[in-house]
């Protein structure tokens, strides 16, 4: 079994949700990605009963990924996604740091019901 070193971590994301917007192509450094929002929904138990909680996630996947490059993703499709988290730091004009976390998808499957 592999041992985690001081600088290593486990970073795996598994999500199921619906596509909110049509994927667009973005460029980061020299790489191109498809980019879309995924909405996940869960029931959270509160003192007043269950509450339906929706959350939006930014998802990117490489145009070079042979498993994903020919997928026809459209708003409303239910997806199962595996990937990892990436957090980018953005410094605004006031030198305030903002953090943006995205999911870098390595596998996407369309869920049919």
Is residue 84 situated within a structural domain? Answer: yes
Residue 5 falls inside a structural domain: no
Domain, as residue range, for 45: 13-110
Residue 4 lies in a domain: no
**What CATH number is associated with residue 94?**
2.40.50.140
User: Pairing mode, if any, of strands 49-62 and 97-110?
Assistant: parallel
Domain count, the chain: 1
Per DSSP, 3 falls in state P
Give residue 1's pLDDT.
52
At which residue do the structure tokens 């990436």 appear?
A: 86
Position 3 in a domain? no
How confident is the model at residue 7, as a pLDDT?
A: 47
Cα separation, 34 vs 113, in Å, equals 25
Please indicate, yes or no, if residue 33 is contained in any of the structural domains. yes
Q: Are 32 and 26 in contact (CB under 8 A)?
A: yes
Please identify every stretch of the chain with a pLDDT value under 70, giving residue numbers as ranges.
1-10
- CA pair distance 57, 16, nearest whole angstrom: 11
* Alpha-carbon separation of residue 1 from 4, 11, 13, 83 (angstroms): 10, 17, 21, 22
Q: Is residue 2 part of a domain?
A: no
Give tens-digit pLDDT for 24-50: 999 988 889 999 999 999 999 888 889
């Amino acid at each position: 079994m592999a041992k985690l070193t001081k600088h290593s971590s486990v970073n795996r994301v598994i999500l199921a949700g619906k596509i909110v917007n049509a994927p667009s192509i973005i460029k980061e450094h020299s790489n191109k990605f498809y980019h879309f929002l995924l909405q996940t929904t869960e029931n959270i138990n509160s003192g007043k009963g269950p509450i339906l909680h929706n959350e939006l996630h930014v998802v990117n996947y490489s145009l070079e990924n042979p498993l994903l490059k020919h997928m026809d993703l459209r708003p409303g499709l239910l997806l199962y996604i595996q990937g990892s988290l990436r957090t980018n730091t953005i410094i605004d004009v006031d030198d305030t740091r903002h953090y943006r976390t995205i999911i870098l998808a390595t596998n996407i499957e369309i869920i049919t019901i």
